[in-house]
């Protein structure tokens, strides 16, 4: 019993950490974007204020039961993937490392691939219910884009699984610690394919086709204000952090303490952000074609590399 209580406490600590870090990253990204735009930009804690303001909206219109599923599925997706991904390397030096390795099990990588597509599906149901044509088109675009980037992403993961004969994230971290080589060097093709897929996963330009403001108002979230938007915003931040941690775990050897984790995830996060600042947006079919071009080819190379060596 006590063991479960501690587990729950640890899970909550993980969630709070992910929320804070994810939101801060959001604010920092806005600040960096502002500096590139030749202006000051908002303070780094702006996203917290925004979230709190959205939470304290007094009126929130909903469009029927399915509408709630959009926000709920997103929240479920981000929390579940956060729980499965070990935030810090287990058995490291610091005593709190065990806090952040929540629910991982053998085969969690496969489960993760599944659960990460779960949120957009819920979003599709919620957006369909709102009756806003912009939402429906946005959802269609989101699913097409997901089809695009899932292929190089899964190829990269399969390459890793073939090489090391495991589907557990903790095993991958242990392998990297034992061999002393990060997987991004051990199988560079897999890393490149995964990073290219990441551009689509984070939905910055040129792949922000889902919520493209000048085309679709804001796409699937058009009809969501107040607390709905707060839920989506916070789960988005948590999910961003979870995905970054997954990349760090798989390719950059995980992190032994929180400072290393923040440094690594932030560096990784800057790839889509900085590329996005100077890029216009692709059309849907151009985006899908892009993902099925070089990223898929590199993913194939990664699998070949894994099979041959």
Partner 1 sequence: MYNDKNSKKIVETIQNWARSHSIWVLAYGTGCGAIEISPTMTSRYDAERLGFRGAATPRQADVMLITGYLTVKTVKRVVRVYEQMQSPKYVVGFGSCTINGGMYYDSYNTINLLDRYLPVDVYINGCMPRPEAVLAGLSKLQQIIREGNANGAEKYLENLAWYKENQRKIAPNWIAKAPDLNW
Partner 2 sequence: MREKATTIYLGPQHPGITGNMMVRLKVIGDTIVSAQTEVGYLHRAFEKLQERRNWLQGFTLMCRFCVPESDPMENVYARSVEAIDGREVPERGKYIRVMVLELARIATQLMWYAGQNGSLGLYTMGQWSIGDRDYILDLFEELTGGRVYHMYQWPGGVRRDLPEGFTDKVLRTLDYLEKRLKDYDDLMFANSIFQKRTQGVGIVPKENIIEHGVVGPVLRGAGIRSDIRIDEPYEVYDKLDFEIPTQEGSDIWARALVRRAEVHQSIRIIRQVIDQMPSGEYFNKFPNPLKWIVPAGDAYVRVESGRGEVGFYAVSDGTIHPRRMHLRGAAYVHAITLLESILPGQNIADVSAIMNSLGTCAPEIER
Compose the 286-305 pattern: x for residues touching partner 2 by CB under 8 A, - for all others.
x-------------------
Compose the 132-161 pattern: x for residues touching partner 2 by CB under 8 A, - for all others.
-xx-xx------------------------
Distance of CA 254 to the CA centre of its chain: 16
What is the rounded CA–CA span in Å between residue 75 and residue 168?
23
Contacting range for partner 2; rule: CB under 8 A; set: 7-15, 103-111, 149-157, 209-217: 209-217
Q: Decide which of partner 1, partner 2, none touches 53; Cβ closer than 5 to 8 Å per partner kind.
A: partner 1
Contacting range for partner 1; rule: CB under 8 A; set: 14-22, 32-40, 243-251, 254-262: 32-40
Contacting range for partner 1; rule: CB under 8 A; set: 96-104, 224-232, 268-276, 299-307: 224-232
Q: What is the DSSP string of 164-221?
A: HT---HHHHHHHHHHH---HHHHSHHHHHHHHHHHHHHTT-TTS--SS-HHHHTTGGG
Verify binding: residue 62, partner 1, rule CB under 8 A: no
Least separation in angstroms between CB 130 and partner 2: 14
The 3-class secondary structure across 98-118, one letter per residue, is: HHHCCCCCCCHHHHHHHHHCH
Exposure string for 224-256, b = 16+ CB within 10 A, e = fewer: bebbbbbbbbbbbbbbbbbbbbbbbbbbbbbbb
What is the rounded CA–CA span in Å between residue 54 and residue 35?
26
Q: Which of 127, 281, 291, 306 binds partner 2 (CB under 8 A)?
A: 281
Which residues between 226 and 245 bind partner 1 (CB under 8 A)?
Answer: 226, 229
Residues that bind partner 2 (CB under 8 A): 36-39, 133-134, 136-137, 205-206, 208-209, 212-215, 217, 277-286
């Amino acid at each position: 019993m006590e063991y479960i209580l501690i587990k729950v406490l640890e899970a909550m600590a993980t969630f709070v950490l992910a929320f804070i870090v994810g939101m801060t990253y959001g604010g920092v990204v806005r600040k960096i974007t502002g500096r590139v735009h030749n202006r000051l930009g908002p303070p780094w804690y702006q996203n917290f204020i925004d979230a709190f303001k959205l939470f304290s909206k007094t009126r929130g219109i909903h469009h029927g039961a399915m509408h709630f599923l959009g926000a709920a599925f997103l929240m479920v997706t981000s929390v579940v993937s956060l729980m499965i991904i070990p935030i810090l390397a287990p058995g490291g030096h610091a005593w709190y490392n065990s806090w952040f390795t929540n629910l991982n099990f053998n085969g969690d990588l496969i489960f993760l691939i599944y659960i990460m597509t779960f949120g957009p599906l819920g979003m599709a149901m919620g957006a369909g219910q709102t009756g806003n044509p912009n939402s429906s088109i946005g959802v269609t675009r989101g699913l097409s884009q997901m089809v695009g980037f899932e292929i190089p992403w899964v190829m990269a993961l399969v390459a890793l699984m073939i090489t090391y004969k495991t589907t557990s994230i903790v095993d991958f971290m242990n392998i990297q610690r034992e061999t002393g080589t990060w997987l991004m060097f051990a199988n560079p093709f897999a890393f490149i394919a995964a990073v290219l897929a990441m551009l689509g996963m984070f939905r910055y330009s040129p792949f922000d086709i889902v919520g493209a403001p000048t085309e679709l108002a804001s796409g699937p979230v058009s009809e969501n204000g107040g607390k709905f938007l707060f839920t989506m915003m916070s789960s988005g931040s948590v999910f961003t952090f979870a995905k970054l941690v997954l990349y760090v775990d798989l390719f950059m050897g995980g992190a032994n303490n929180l400072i290393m984790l923040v440094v690594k995830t932030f560096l990784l996060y800057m790839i889509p952000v900085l590329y996005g600042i100077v890029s216009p947006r692709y059309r849907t079919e151009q985006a899908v074609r892009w993902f099925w071009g070089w990223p898929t080819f590199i993913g194939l190379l990664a699998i070949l590399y894994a099979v041959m060596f």
